[in-house]
Amino acid sequence: ETGVTQTPRHLVMGMTNKKSLKCEQHLGHNAMYWYKQSAKKPLELMFVYNFKEQTENNSVPSRFSPECPNSSHLFLHLHTLQPEDSALYLCASSQQSGQGANEQFFGPGTRLTVL
């Protein structure tokens, strides 16, 4: 256990559905991240939140909508997805400080299949 949990672990949805992915960290960290992991490709950073404020959106389509209600919880709301959005979605957290990047702790991921 890394202290980062994600639910659900598996999700199958149609292109017209609306669903949400949830991430929770129990580490007292102040930064949280969403990554997309597709086969044969590097992890792609999607969103970064620092102290609940979104600090990065790496040109992610608007059909992905993040929400960070507090520093321990992170959501990814999904609507009208495409089959190419099928992937493993990973959440991570870290303790950001002025001294540079620190270890990111990853959750187990949500395996998303879009039909």
Partner 1 sequence: GENVEQHPSTLSVQEGDSAVIKCTYSDSASNYFPWYKQELGKGPQLIIDIRSNVGEKKDQRIAVTLNKTAKHFSLHITETQPEDSAVYFCAAEFSGSARQLTFGSGTQLTVLP
Question: Which residue from 48, 78, 81, 112 is in contact with partner 1, where contact means CB under 8 A?
Answer: 48
Question: Which residue from 45, 65, 79, 86 is in contact with partner 1, where contact means CB under 8 A?
Answer: 45
Q: How do beta strands 44-50 and 105-106 pair?
A: unpaired
**101 near partner 1 (CB under 8 A):** yes
**71 near partner 1 (CB under 8 A):** no
Question: Which residue from 16, 40, 59, 70 is in contact with partner 1, where contact means CB under 8 A?
Answer: 40
Name the DSSP class of 39: T
Lookup result for tokens 């792609």: 44
| Cross-strand partners of 81 | none
**86 near partner 1 (CB under 8 A):** no
The residues that touch partner 1, with contacts defined as CB under 8 A, are 2, 4, 31, 40-43, 45, 48, 50, 55-56, 90, 92, 96, 100-101, 103-109
